[in-house]
Structure 1
Amino acid sequence: MTESVTTLPPTRSTSGFDIKSFLTRHGAWVALALLILFNLAFTPNFATWQTLNVNLTQVCAIVIVGVGMTLVIATGGIDLSVGSLMAIAGSLAPLIFLGKLFPLPHPAVGIALAFVVPVLVAGAFGWFNGWLITRLRIQPIIATLVLFIAGRGIAQVMTNGNLQVFKVPEFQYIGLGRLFGIPFQAVLMVVIVVAAGWMLRRTVFGRQILAVGGNERAARLAGIPVVSVKRKVYWISGLLSGIAGLIVIARNSAADANLVGLGMELDAIAAVAVGGTLLTGGRATVVGTLVGALIIQLVRYTLLANGVPDAAALVAKAGIIVLAVWLQRQNQS
């Protein structure tokens, strides 16, 4: 009689420290901590309010757009149109509050409309992206490429390609104002990150987003409204792009359809990848996107503050993305 032997799978030691596993899970946080420590030790005037303010104001728009990008990527999609939607919103707002589109009964009416209408218009274009993807079944990278190209053209047509310079403190509060000494745009950024994080973790819609990205066919069989979920995430991405566009023009006291949001889609995707959201969908972390955006901004600041040309920051950014994707692959294996 032969005796059956059951072989148990090898178990990982609970007493040892697995540095590879730790880095795959917390690599973004480790990188951020190392960057901060390096700058504290070697970069003059890093630990000042002025430096913090500069980095915060540079990163807020990226994080806000990145939150929308996180939701889109979590469903297995991509949104290349975010920069162009920023340009549309940023071009439309001054036309409204300067009274170039229609007469205003009171300046306050124009300012209120300039906060609402451009964001809703950007959201409508975002929904259009979702419609192209779900109705016409166009691949997300192709569908959003349409507005990536046409959207900036729309913004340029609206303004005849002219720079719109303005000084309207009530509107510019979104980009230059302070709340209890903290830049208002940073407060708005934190609110958006917290709200999106709560939505992903605590709501049915958040679980549906992750289910669609994890396995769309299984999500359909489970009764999840896949079409509705996809259209909503692109709509949200459009809305957040519109908000970011308003922040940028308010901060610059000018709207340039040629430059507002230029390259933002790449920065947002990089922040999402570095932050730990799977580019294949099914898992997302908006807090990670915030960390990823901070890493990218601090790398650029560190290089500039230490005399390295700005072009080197682009190379460093590419290297960071490659490393982030590699860590994701290690985590999946």
Structure 2
Amino acid sequence: MSALTLAGAVRGRGPALSLLRRYGVYAALAVLFVVAAVLDGGFLSAGNVRIQLFQVAPTLLVALGMALVIGTEGIDLSVGAVIALAAAVVPLYIGWGLPVALLVAVALGAVSGLAGGAMVAFTRVQPIVATLALMIGVRGVASLVNGASAKPVTDPALLRLGAEAFAGVPWTAWLAAGCVALTAVLVHRTTFGRQLVAVGDNRRAARLAGLPVRRVLLTVYLLSGVLAAVAGVLIVGHGAEADPANQGRNVELDAITAVVVGGTPLAGGSVRVLGTVAGALFMQLTTAVLTQHDVHSSITKIVEAAVICLAVYASRERGTR
């Protein structure tokens, strides 16, 4: 093959690969949806759809915050521990009413996020190291606060929020949809969103250009902590108990997977909000389909690992600049 022929082949393949990387998650989600509907006649039933929305909403909230952090070329491993901390304080303050318990949980999530953001922004600690240390510490605080034991929660308002629906759609899904809309506006329609992308694309250049790099980093980690705390409250409401020893386990991995599968590169410089939604739904439906067809959990984990590897490889290609 001549050099000209090879060059033409590469040029022809480029647009196709670009389209696949940009829209592949939507195509994969559509195919998975059709396959699931064909294999299981009850997959499209209202009850099953509500179950899937209940289960994906907390992960989606965490993934939105993770997408913002990854957009700055960072990572937040502390979100699972923040969920546990939020769950731990709910039984302590729910007697004052749901708004007070939610406010306390969100405040603690914000403080945790600020702590991680401060380590990244001011001490220049690697995000994975800073948030790993925070993950261990916050999980320990959650265990101390709650006594490392599950506690029932019987507040009617919280249980309604975690279990009831409006117009056939769970309240948790409505809340997640609102957060998706706000995140999309923040990323695509505000100065902060442009600053976030610039910081992730080239932090040194952003600093030399006079952008508020530290403020951007503090904000994205704060938002990640707040969204994780809200997810923790929703998990407590849906399960009717606070169990910080188990709630939030491995959710950071699910969130990172949703973000990467959705097309946000780990190299930063881009945030795909709708792609993150599609990624979260894709991973949720993949797990649900395999579970409903009695596929062993070990096989399910292998499939999820393969999806993660493919997504990370695609992310590496997207992130090449």
Shorter-chain TM-score: what band? Answer: over 0.9
The CA RMSD over aligned residues, in Å, is 2.0
Q: d(CA) in 1 for partners of 2:318 and 2:134?
A: 34
State the match for 1:53 in structure 2: 50
State the match for 1:161 in structure 2: 148
Number of matched pairs: 315
Among 18, 28, 40, which residue is 2:37 paired with? 40
State the match for 2:62 in structure 1: 65
State the match for 1:101 in structure 2: none
Among 65, 73, 76, which residue is 1:76 paired with? 73
Gapped runs of 5+ residues in structure 1?
1-6, 99-108
Deviations 1:126-169 (A, max 9, x none): 00101111222211101001121111111110011121102111
Q: d(CA) in 2 for partners of 1:118 and 1:51?
A: 30
Give the number of the structure whose residues are more often helix, by fraction.
Answer: 2
Please state how far the C-alpha of 1:12 moved relative to its aligned partner: 8.9
Of 309-318 and 251-260, the range deviating more from structure 2: 309-318
State the match for 1:140 in structure 2: 127
Q: d(CA) in 1 for partners of 2:9 and 2:283?
A: 34
User: AA paired with 1:50?
Assistant: G
Change (3 A) 1:21 1:280: closer
Q: d(CA) in 2 for partners of 1:328 and 1:240?
A: 24
Deviations 1:279-324 (A, max 9, x none): 1100111111110011111111111122211222211111111111
Given that 1:75 and 1:213 are in contact with CA atoms closer than 8 Å, whether structure 2 keeps it comes out as yes
Given that 1:277 and 1:283 are in contact with CA atoms closer than 8 Å, whether structure 2 keeps it comes out as yes
Of 146-155 and 268-277, the range deviating more from structure 2: 146-155
Among 267, 274, 281, which residue is 2:261 paired with? 274
| Secondary structure in structure 2 of the residue aligned to 1:273 | helix
> Structure 1 residue 301 and structure 2 residue 291: aligned?
no
Residue pairs, 1:115-130, within 5 angstroms = 115-130=102-117
Change (3 A) 1:257 1:329: closer
Gapped runs of 5+ residues in structure 2?
none
Of 35-44 and 241-250, the range deviating more from structure 2: 35-44
Please state how far the C-alpha of 1:96 moved relative to its aligned partner: 0.8
TM-score, normalised by the number of residues in structure 2: 0.93
Given that 1:69 and 1:269 are in contact with CA atoms closer than 8 Å, whether structure 2 keeps it comes out as yes
| Secondary structure in structure 2 of the residue aligned to 1:56 | helix
Residue pairs, 1:203-214, within 5 angstroms = 203-214=190-201
Please state how far the C-alpha of 1:15 moved relative to its aligned partner: 11
State the match for 2:181 in structure 1: 194
User: AA paired with 2:174?
Assistant: V
State the match for 1:238 in structure 2: 225
Of 162-171 and 151-160, the range deviating more from structure 2: 162-171
Q: d(CA) in 2 for partners of 1:198 and 1:246?
A: 24
Please state how far the C-alpha of 1:94 moved relative to its aligned partner: 1.1
State the match for 1:150 in structure 2: 137
Of 165-174 and 268-277, the range deviating more from structure 2: 165-174
Q: d(CA) in 2 for partners of 1:27 and 1:181?
A: 29
Given that 1:80 and 1:141 are in contact with CA atoms closer than 8 Å, whether structure 2 keeps it comes out as yes
Q: d(CA) in 2 for partners of 1:80 and 1:17?
A: 34
Deviations 1:165-208 (A, max 9, x none): 02111122331132233100000000001110111000000000
Q: d(CA) in 2 for partners of 1:18 and 1:218?
A: 29
| Secondary structure in structure 2 of the residue aligned to 1:220 | helix
Q: d(CA) in 2 for partners of 1:239 and 1:223?
A: 27
TM-score, normalised by the number of residues in structure 1: 0.90
State the match for 1:185 in structure 2: 172
User: AA paired with 2:134?
Assistant: L
Given that 1:174 and 1:246 are in contact with CA atoms closer than 8 Å, whether structure 2 keeps it comes out as no
> Structure 1 residue 257 and structure 2 residue 244: aligned?
yes
Name the larger-Rg structure. Answer: 1
